[in-house]
């Protein structure tokens, strides 16, 4: 009798335990999400290639639309919430039209409005959206060297440097200039790019990679432009 009772209890336990285990086995695996500590290679494999990237010493920022992943020494230390949805949307979006004489510049980002007086294909374009974040990748001209000029109307050095930068760009068919008004300190765009001074010039090569370090000196910007053309 004791043996029979033990066997009956064993079968009863198996009846409860086995279905639970089977249910766990057929559950779909949980999607892996980006987190701090991931390597750069893991980020690229998970999100796909970034639209633009900026490297400063040991830190690097990968841009996906308006979202970004920040790495230090090749390891993720911060990222924008929702970046996975943004990356997925960008992957599913049809590719941009080929660059030609009629469409030399991509359409402006909805988060950064172009000046009404600036046509879509103008070499020098001024953007001001009350200091809001901008989609950096949408400002880079495919196949050309792009200079990004962060400035403010109240900044004296900005007013002195601006005509010189514009003259440099207008005299070179391979150069395009995008001017971003920060409006004031601590606006979203200054926090987005960790700006601590203006004027501040960034130079990007034909592939959308930043060349050199941000600078406020025209001579340094010219050197970066020469490197970007190689």
On whether both 182 and 132 belong to a single domain, the answer is: yes
Q: How much is the pLDDT for 94?
A: 59
Q: How much is the pLDDT for 55?
A: 74
Q: Rounded to an integer, what distance in angstroms lies between the CA atom of residue 203 and that of residue 213?
A: 8
On whether both 226 and 123 belong to a single domain, the answer is: yes
Q: How many domains does the chain have?
A: 2
On whether both 117 and 221 belong to a single domain, the answer is: yes
On whether both 112 and 82 belong to a single domain, the answer is: no
Q: What is the CATH number of the domain that holds 198?
A: 3.40.30.10
Is 190 part of any domain? yes
Per-residue pLDDT of the chain (230 residues; tens, 9 = 90+): 544 544 444 444 444 333 333 333 333 333 478 888 888 888 888 888 887 777 776 778 888 877 888 888 888 888 888 888 888 887 776 544 333 333 333 333 334 444 333 343 689 999 877 899 999 888 999 999 999 999 999 999 999 999 999 999 998 999 999 999 999 999 999 999 999 999 999 999 999 999 999 999 999 999 999 999 98
Q: 21 — phi, psi (to 5°)? A: -65, -40
pTM: 0.56
* Of 92, 122, 139, the domain-final residue: 92
Q: How much is the pLDDT for 121?
A: 60
Q: How much is the pLDDT for 86?
A: 82
Given a contact cutoff of 8 angstroms between Cβ atoms, the answer to whether 56 and 213 are in contact is: yes
Q: Rounded to an integer, what distance in angstroms lies between the CA atom of residue 14 and that of residue 82?
A: 43
Q: How much is the pLDDT for 96?
A: 42
Long-range contacts for 85-90 (Cβ within 8 Å, ≥24 apart)? 87/47, 87/48, 89/65, 90/48, 90/51, 90/64, 90/65
């Amino acid at each position: 009798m004791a043996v029979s009772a033990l066997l009956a209890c064993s079968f009863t336990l198996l009846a409860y335990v086995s279905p639970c285990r089977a249910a766990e086995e057929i559950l779909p695996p949980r999607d892996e999400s980006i987190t701090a500590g991931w390597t750069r290679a893991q980020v690229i494999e998970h999100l796909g290639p970034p639209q633009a990237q900026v490297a400063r010493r040991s830190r690097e920022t990968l841009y996906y639309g308006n979202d970004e992943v920040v790495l230090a020494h090749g390891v993720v230390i911060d990222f924008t919430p929702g970046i996975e949805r943004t990356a997925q949307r960008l992957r599913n979006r049809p590719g941009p039209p080929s660059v030609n004489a009629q469409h030399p510049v991509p359409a402006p980002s909805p988060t950064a409005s172009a000046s009404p007086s600036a046509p879509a294909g103008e070499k020098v374009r001024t953007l001001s959206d009350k200091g809001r974040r901008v989609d950096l990748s949408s400002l880079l001209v495919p196949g050309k060297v792009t200079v990004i000029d962060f400035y403010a109307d109240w900044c004296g050095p900005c007013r002195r440097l601006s005509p010189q930068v514009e003259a440099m760009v207008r005299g070179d068919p391979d150069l395009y200039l995008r001017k971003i008004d920060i409006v004031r300190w601590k606006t979203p765009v200054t926090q987005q790019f960790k700006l601590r001074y203006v004027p501040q010039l960034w130079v990007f090569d034909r592939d959308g990679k930043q060349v050199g370090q941000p600078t406020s000196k025209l001579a340094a910007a010219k050197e970066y432009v020469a490197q970007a053309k190689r």
